[in-house]
């Protein structure tokens, strides 16, 4: 029993002696839910690792793409939502393209990301999660993305500025910003945009608000 899924534990913090993680009475519930929501036949995965080998950033991930698929099959939802994998993924679609069984790995990772933001779990790669969120907020406000506005909004998010100062990238960022400005690559003003009403409505609808 111990050995059947032991390969999975390279990245997973399973300590010998500690109680082994079981699928539990959740059964196939999570797997079926994922399959239903993504339309992907996740059970078709036979762990050939082609997705992980194709992935350009698998070495930055704690759960490798093929392992993520296995975790879904096992119903280990929390481990997935807590992982850095779902945030590190670049959506480069290498995994999906090369899977021999047409498992849409990238879509599954996207869907897990979706789930993670709607859960109470704090994302492991907070700076990445906050970036995506800021992007959507700016988009909601102005309908189009203006790089300068996006970066400003991003910096104003709690912890981001602090983290950037701590990691010594603030100065670099400012220099880059100045250089971009000099080269004329930043747009300073966004023109008033008429479709914004429709976009705001679409946003509220997706959140289940009626008016």
Partner 1 sequence: MRLSFYPGCSLEGMANDYARSIDTVFRDLGIDLVEIEDWSCCGATAAHSLSQTMSVVLPARNLAVAEKMGLDIVSPCAMCFNRLRFSQNMIRKKVFDIPWHVTGELRVHDMTRFMAEPSMIKSIKKRVLKPLNGLRVVCYYGCQMVRPPKITGYTDYENPQTLDRIIATTGAQVIDWSYKSTCCGASIGIARREIQESLTRRILQKAQQAGAEAIVVSCPLCQSNLDIIQKDRSDRCTPVFYFTELLRLSFMESGASKLFKMHFADPVSLLKAKRLL
Shortest reach from residue 93's CB to partner 1, in Å: 4
Chain positions 13 to 72 lying near ligand SF4, rule: CB under 6 A, are 45-51, 54-55, 57, 65-66, 69
**Of the candidate residues 81, 94, 112, 115, the single one contacting ligand SF4 (CB under 6 A):** 94
- Cβ nearer to ligand SF4, comparing 31 with 103: 103
Minimum distance from residue 71 beta carbon to partner 1 (Å): 19
112 binds ligand SF4 (CB under 6 A): no
Three-point CA angle 86, 41, 9, nearest 5°: 50
Rounded Cα–Cα distance for residues 119 and 174 (Å): 34
Give the shortest CB-150-to-partner 1 separation in angstroms. Answer: 9
DSSP 26: G
By C-alpha distance, which of 40, 172, 196, 183 is closest to 51? 40
Which of partner 1, ligand SF4, none has residue 105 at its interface (CB below 5 to 8 Å by kind)?
A: ligand SF4
Residue for token digits 């339309």? 39
How far is 186 from 209, CA to CA, in rounded Å?
35
CA distances from 61 to 13, 50, 51, 176 (A): 14, 16, 13, 28
**From 1-9, 13-21, 45-53, 106-114, span contacting partner 1 (CB under 8 A):** 106-114
The rounded distance, in Å, linking the Cα atoms of 197 and 140 is: 9
Q: Counting contacts by CB under 8 A, is residue 162 touching partner 1?
A: no
Pick what 195 binds: partner 1, ligand SF4, none; C-beta below 5 to 8 Å, kind-dependent: partner 1
State how far the Cα of 42 lies from the Cα of 22, in Å rounded to an integer. Answer: 19
The tally of CA atoms less than 13 A away on the side-chain side of residue 144 is 9
Instruction: Enter the DSSP assignment of 156.
Output: T
186 touching partner 1, by CB under 8 A: yes
Q: CB 5 → partner 1: shortest distance, Å?
A: 29
Chain residues in the site for partner 1 (CB under 8 A): 56-57, 60, 88, 90-94, 96-97, 104, 106, 110-111, 113-114, 117, 125, 127-128, 130-133, 135-136, 139, 143-148, 151, 154, 169, 176, 179-180, 183-187, 193-195, 198-199, 201-203, 205-206
């Amino acid at each position: 029993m111990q050995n059947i899924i032991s390969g999975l534990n390279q990245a997973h913090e399973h300590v010998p002696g500690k109680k082994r993680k079981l699928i539990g009475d959740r059964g196939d519930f999570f797997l079926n839910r994922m399959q239903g929501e993504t339309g992907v036949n996740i059970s078709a995965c036979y762990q050939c690792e082609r997705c992980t080998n194709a992935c350009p950033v698998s070495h930055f991930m704690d759960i490798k793409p093929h392992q993520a698929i296995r975790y879904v099959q096992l119903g280990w939802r929390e481990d997935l939502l807590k992982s850095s994998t779902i945030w590190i993924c670049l959506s480069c679609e290498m995994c999906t393209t090369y899977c021999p069984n047409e498992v849409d790995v990238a879509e599954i990772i996207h869907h897990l990301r979706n789930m993670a933001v709607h859960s109470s779990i704090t994302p492991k790669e907070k700076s990445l999660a906050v970036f995506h969120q800021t992007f959507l907020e700016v988009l909601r406000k102005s309908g189009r993305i203006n790089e300068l506005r996006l970066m400003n909004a991003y910096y104003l998010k709690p912890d981001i500025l602090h983290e950037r100062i701590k990691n010594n990238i603030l100065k670099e960022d400012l220099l880059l910003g100045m250089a971009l400005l000099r080269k004329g690559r930043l747009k300073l003003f966004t023109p008033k945009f008429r479709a914004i009403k429709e976009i705001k409505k679409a946003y509220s609808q997706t959140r289940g608000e009626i008016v």
